[in-house]
Amino acid sequence: MANKERFFAEIEQALKQVLPKDKQYIALHEPTFAGKEWEYVKDCLDTGWVSSVGKYVDKFEADLAEFTGVKRAVAVVNGTAALHICLLLVGVKAEDEVLMPALTFIATANAVSYCRAVPHFIDSDFTTLGVDAQKLDEYLTKIAEIRAGECYNKLTNRRIKAVVPMHTFGHPVNLTALENICQKYKLELVEDAAESLGSYYKGQHTGNCGKVAALSFNGNKTITTGGGGAILTNDLELGTLAKHLTTTAKLAHRWEFRHDQVAYNYRLPNLNAALGCAQLEQLPGFLQKKRLLADNYQAALANIKGVEFFKEPADCKSNYWLNAILLDKEFAPYRDELLAYLNEHGLMCRPVWNLMYTLPMYANCPKMDCAQAEDIARRLINIPSGSSLI
């Protein structure tokens, strides 16, 4: 294409117009440590409380619950562990099917596999990059039936227990429509909110729909604990059970090691929680900067034909965790060339994840037609998004 090189250069110039001029290479999403991280971590070292209990674990859980508006937050070692426990809490068992987007990070599918359940892949839409609720409803009308108050796949004869929407890059999915689907088909709603801390759907923080939700605090998330995650719930009994299951099901006793069921050592160390407490204190500022960065990108890219900056869905407030651009279909065949060009010119940019059913271990899982997810995957590029870039 004759205009390909000019198109690449226009995008590069637009991005660099927004980004800091004093850096030779700009990462996709670096953490920002500008608060009390050193003070809180040093306190852990000075007092010796560095492992899986301590005041920072308690504070981090309380602060998370307050910020997100849930009744209970349980801190764990990573977001995948959080989602694994969420699925167990809603009753996902071996051989159950769990509906989830084909367009997601592999942790969503892996958490289902940890339960020895079966991922069932569904399509995404262009307004949220997440689950297409209308298309899912139409699909379930064809393949699902209710037996004794539970949903079954007529094609595989397996129970369909839950749907796990993932808020892609922090953009909330249509939760109202998904709640209606879950009620209609007797499904549990489990939010994979790993990427959406600081995102709101119709004024309510993500993670408040359904019985449980999962967060992630990996090093590239909006806030980080190094590694880490959390389970969110508005059911206090489930919250207590989540804490029990993630702390080896150990019963309180002055000295004996008493455990009452097979459980998991998913505890978040106090050191990591200390980092998280300091990061949470800065979260409003991070979100403000990330929104300004997104606004600047949108303005800089507005007059370039062939590319669109992805904006938050209607009635939502996104954290803009990872900013994304979508190439017009005529430029889609050159996505990888553009990625190479941008990276060679000092801008760390990435494609979206490979669709789950294209991976060998999930190639034989059930799936609906995912034409929209395939189209998104061909055309989407993530661009630098850290809060330190403003």
Half-sphere exposure (Cβ direction) of 126: Cα atoms closer than 13 Å = 14
Model confidence pLDDT, tens digit, residues 289-306: 999 999 999 999 999 999
From CA 363, how far away is CA 248, in angstroms rounded? 33
**Which pair of tokens denotes residue 131?**
């689950």
> What is the mean pLDDT of the segment spanning 260-273?
98
User: How many other CB atoms are found less than 10 A from the CB of residue 374?
Assistant: 16
- Residue 359 DSSP code: S
Q: Is 323 exposed, middle or buried (0-12, 13-18, 19+ CB in 10 A)?
A: buried
Confidence of residue 76 (pLDDT cuts 50, 70, 90): very high
Model confidence pLDDT, tens digit, residues 205-251: 999 999 999 999 999 999 999 999 999 999 999 999 999 999 999 99
Burial letters 142-168, b for 16+ CB under 10 A, else e: eebeeeeeebbbeeeebbbbbbbbbbb
> What is the mean pLDDT of the segment spanning 151-168?
98
From CA 263, how far away is CA 251, in angstroms rounded? 12
CATH 3.40.640.10 domain residues, the chain: 37-281
Average pLDDT taken over every residue of the chain = 97
Ordered DSSP codes for 211-262? SEEEEE--TTSSS--SS-EEEEES-HHHHHHHHHHHBTTEEP-SS--EE-S-
Confidence of residue 3 (pLDDT cuts 50, 70, 90): confident
What count of residues does the chain have? 390
Q: What pLDDT, on the 0 to 100 scale, is given for residue 2? A: 56
Report how far Cα 2 is from the mean position of its chain's Cα atoms: 38
> What is the mean pLDDT of the segment spanning 41-68?
97
**Which pair of tokens denotes residue 70?**
């849930």
From CA 208, how far away is CA 226, in angstroms rounded? 25
Q: Is the pLDDT of residue 389 over 70?
A: yes
- Picking from 79, 88, 118, 57, the residue whose alpha carbon sits closest to that of residue 262 is 88
Q: What pLDDT, on the 0 to 100 scale, is given for residue 1? A: 52
Phi, psi of 31 (to 5 degrees): -70, 155
Is 3.40.640.10 the CATH number for 37-281? yes
- Picking from 381, 341, 358, the residue whose alpha carbon sits closest to that of residue 121 is 358
Q: What pLDDT, on the 0 to 100 scale, is given for residue 141? A: 98
Q: Is the pLDDT of residue 38 over 90?
A: yes
